[in-house]
A and B are shown apart, each in its own frame.
Chain A
Amino acid sequence: MIYADNSATTKVKPEVLEKMLPFLQGQYGNPSSLYAFAYDSKRAVENAREEVAKVIGAKAREIFFTSCGSESNNWVIKGVASKYRDKGNHIITSCIEHPAIIQTCKYLEKQGFRVTYLPVDEYGSVSPEDVRKAICEDTILISVMMANNEIGTIQPIREIGEIAKEKDILFHTDAVQAFGHIPINVDELNIDFLSLSGHKIGTPKGIGALYIRTGIKIDNLIHGGGQEKNRRAGTENVPYIVGLGEAARLANENMAKNIEKLTAMRTALVERVLKIPYTKLTGHPTNRLPGLCSIIIEGIEGEALLLNMYNEGICASSGSACSSGSLDPSHVLLSIGLPHHIAHGSLRLSLGEDNEPGDEIKIAEAVEKVAARLRAMSPVWENGKPMWE
Chain B
Amino acid sequence: MYSEKVLDHFSNPRNVGELEGANAVGQVGNPKCGDIMKMYMKIENDVVVDVTFKTFGCGAAVATSSMATEMVKGKTVEEALKLTNRAVAEALDGLPPEKLHCSVLAEEAIQSAIADYYKRQGKDPKDYGINVCDGNCEHCHAHK
Contacts and interface: CB of A to CB of B under 8 A. Distances in A.
Contacts of B55: 377-379
Interface string B1-25: 0000001001101001100000000
B141 interface: yes
Interface string A271-305: 00000000000000000000000000001111110
A316 to B, nearest CB: 14
B57 A377 contact: no
Contact of B54 (A300, A344, A379): A379
B88 interface: no
Nearest to B60: A322
B32 interface: yes
Nearest to B18: A379
Contacts of B56: 299-301, 378-381
Given A304-B10, A379-B38, A321 B33 contact: yes
Contact of A301 (B34, B38, B141): B34
Contact of B31 (A304, A325, A388): A388
Contacts of A344: 31, 34
Contacts of A378: 54-56
A299 B57 CA distance: 9
Contact of A307 (B36, B38, B59): B59
B127 interface: no
Interface in B113-140: 137-138
B4 to A, nearest CB: 13
Interface residues of A, number: 28
A322 B13 CA distance: 19
Interface string A318-356: 001111010101000000000111001000000000000
A235 interface: no
Given A311-B11, A327-B141, A379-B36, A322 B57 contact: yes
Interface residues of B, number: 29
Q: Chain B's interface: helix, strand, loop or mixed, by majority?
A: mixed
Q: Which of A299, A311, A327 has the most CB of B within 10 A?
A: A327
A255 to B, nearest CB: 36
Contact of B33 (A307, A327, A339, A377): A327
A303 B59 CA distance: 6
B58 A303 contact: yes
Contacts of A381: 56
B67 interface: no
B131 to A, nearest CB: 20
Contact of A325 (B32, B36, B61, B98): B98
B13 A377 contact: yes
A300 to B, nearest CB: 7
A377 B34 contact: no
B98 A301 contact: no
B53 to A, nearest CB: 8
CB-based closest 9 A-B pairs: A322-B58, A341-B31, A303-B58, A379-B38, A344-B34, A379-B54, A340-B32, A378-B56, A325-B98
Given A327-B33, A379-B37, 16 more contacts: A303-B59, A304-B58, A304-B61, A307-B11, A322-B58, A322-B60, A322-B99, A340-B31, A341-B31, A341-B34, A377-B17, A377-B62, A379-B54, A380-B56, A381-B56, A388-B31
6 contacts: A304-B59, A321-B34, A322-B35, A341-B31, A377-B17, A379-B36
